[in-house]
Structures are given as C-alpha cells and as structure tokens.
Amino acid sequence: METESMRSGYTTGACAAAGVRAALLFESGEPWQEVMLLALDGTPLHIPVKAVWRTAGGITAEVVKFSGDDPDITDGVSVYTTIRHLAAGDGIVFRAGEGIGHVTKRGLSVPVGEPAINPGPRRLIGKVVEDMLGADAALEVTISIPAGVKLAKQTLNPILGVEGGISVIGTTGVLRPMSEEGFKNSLVPQIDVAKEAGFSTLVFVPGKIGERVALRYGLPREAVVETSNFIGFMLEAAEKRGIARVLLFGHIGKLAKVAAGVFYTHNRIADARLETMAAYAAAEGLPAGGVKELLHANTTEDALLVLQRAGLQARVCDILAARASARAERYLFGRMKVGTLMVTLAGERLGMDETARHIGEDFGWDEQEMKKDETM
C-alpha cells in the first residue's frame, strides 16, 4: 500500500538537548549554528540553533521547535536552555524556567515537586552532557518555554497535576506525526511486514511502554506492531489480512478504554479509564467510598493504589484484560482471537486473560522475567 510521506519533527526535549550541545560548543569556541543529536531510538537529528549568548546565569541557547506534519501546539515556539557548571559531584540538575511546569500530583513519570521534564528528555540531555564533558560532569540545565504559560491552558496538564506551564516531553526525541489519515495508513505496513516474516499472531502495542515490556518478556520484535491510538483501525486491518490472533499489550490507561468499547484511544476523543475501573471494582465488592476515590483519582496509577489497598488489584485487572479482549473480538464480529495484557508505567504486569497467556506461551516468552513483574 502506498502512503503519503509525512515529515517527522523533533520534540521539546530534543530542542532542549540541542540547546545544551550548542551552549557547550559556544563555550568552547566551536560552531554551534546547527547541531546533530542521536535520538534515543538511534535516529540522527540535525537541529538548527537560532542564537546563543552569555547571561549572568550561564550560557543560553534558543532553538525553535519544528513539529513536522504533527499538529503540535508547540510548533514554532522558542525553547531556551541555560547551562551553568556546578561543583564536582553534583551531577546534572534540572530546573524549570518560565513556561515549564512543576509536578504536583502522583501518578506521573516524574516525582512530585520536580520540574515537568520527562524521563526521555532527561536521558537525551544526559547523553549530550556525557558525550561532551564526560560521565562525571556537573551541570545545571534550566529549560524555559515562555509561550508555555498560555499553551498549558490547551493541555490536560492542570488536570494531571502539572502547574505553572507545559511539560518538556518526548520518548526518543523524534516527533512522528500522530494523526491524520496518512499516519493511520502508515502504520498498516507493519502488519504486512510481520505477515511476510511468517507471523500469523501479532503483538499490538499502543506506545513505547508496551513495546519495551513486550521485548523484555522475549516476544519477537518482528511480531510487535505499534498502533498509536488507532487500536480499532489496526485490529480491522489485521483481520482483513488474515491474521489469526492479536495480543493487546500496553499500559492500563490505554487498554482500560478498550474494555469500555473505546477503540480510538486519544484522550481528547474518549476517556473512560477511571469510570471503567470503578465499575468493575464495584462489581467485585469495592465499597462506595473506594469507588468514589477511584473516580476522583488523578491517573490510573493513582487508581491502582486504591485497588491495592482493597486487595482487588489482581482480580480487577484480570477482569479488565478479559473484557478488553471480549470487546475487541465483538468489534471484529468474532473473526479474530484477541488477548490482552496490561502493565503499569514502570512496566509491571497487572492483568491478562487466558488468550494472552496462550499467545505468550506459544511465542515462548520468558516466564522468569514475567514473574519479576507479578504485582501483589
């Protein structure tokens, strides 16, 4: 199938990392006008730098965000990164400048009180610093996106508990188009490639969390297919190509939606995560007070803590996994078998159904690795 070529861009995290490299090049008297980064997935990024200058607080670089063909609200904004050398042994210290929020609620990938600079950008910046200054470098990195104060009002950050601005995000540094019909169609060839490689059973992952854990469990990379938010579309594409079975493998925040019959999982289209968890928890005996606590949880990770305290996490998550599979099979009018395995942000296994177990066993997944992730 021919697909329209769509341009990738780079994330705010990659802009900040490019700013760090440019500032260090400026400091050493080397050309800084365009820097090359190796994204965390190995993709080379060539990023232009608008300006670099000395300030009272160190050296600041300005990089203008380029989102490619992704309809990103930060496209074209300036990302400012200021570096300042610290005393030996201090390591890399991240600071939130103007327009960058702080985390105020649990359940996110960054601890409460920290600048909302996600793990991916922190790792990417850490690689740049180590590459240029060595593993023992000590550097303060302050990231500012002045437009972030206004832009934050167009995001879910206030609800999620990021206050004061936006988050510096990015899993790898590469911003791949995440919408439009062209992007949906660009996902489908993954199925064709896997089928050509001899796989009639596939592993569908909505994002990097599921992919990382699936590979750690020993599932074959060639059978792993990224669906993004288009789970229903990709299930239909697999069924039309004669795929016999699919294992849905990913974070509970995505797959709980499938349990509710939601097959396009973007949070601006549909979000029934907490309501679905609360309904099944209530059916398993969670008292009314616990149900209310679930419904008012900040994230699914927070909701899991409620289930843990009630001793219901394993049971409810297994039921949610089975329900997601049943809804998916109904969506396909029973023409394909579907199993589901749900994990946490940290990659710990939460729940799975029998079809998921059979698929994993047929693939010869690593039982010892799975046992490490069994939750209480």
What distance lies between CA 242 and its chain's CA centroid? 29
Residue with token string 């090359």: 36
Q: Sign of torsion, CA 221 227 228 229?
A: negative
The pLDDT assigned to 5 comes to: 64
| DSSP single-letter state for residue 217 | T
The pLDDT assigned to 346 comes to: 86
Amino acid identity of residue 340, one-letter, is T
The pLDDT assigned to 197 comes to: 86
**pLDDT, block means (10 residues), the chain with 376 residues:** 63 96 98 95 94 95 90 90 96 97 86 94 96 96 96 83 90 69 76 90 93 94 92 97 97 96 88 94 97 95 96 98 98 97 92 97 85 57
The pLDDT assigned to 373 comes to: 65
The pLDDT assigned to 3 comes to: 38
Q: Is 68 helix (H, G, I), strand (E, B) or coil?
A: coil
Range(s) for CATH 3.30.2110.10 in the chain?
A: 9-175
pTM: 0.65
Cβ atoms 227, 206 nearer than 8 A = yes
Q: For residue 208, with 0-12 CB atoms within 10 Å meaning exposed, 13-18 middle and 19 or more buried, which class applies?
A: middle
Total number of residues shown for the chain: 376
Assigned CATH topology for domain 9-175: CbiD-like (3.30.2110)
The pair of three-digit structure tokens given for residue 15, joined into one six-digit string: 């802009």
The pLDDT assigned to 164 comes to: 95
**Closest C-alpha to 59, from 28, 101, 36, 35:** 28
Q: Compute φ and ψ for 109, nearest 5 degrees.
A: -80, 0
Cβ atoms 205, 214 nearer than 8 A = yes
The pLDDT assigned to 1 comes to: 28
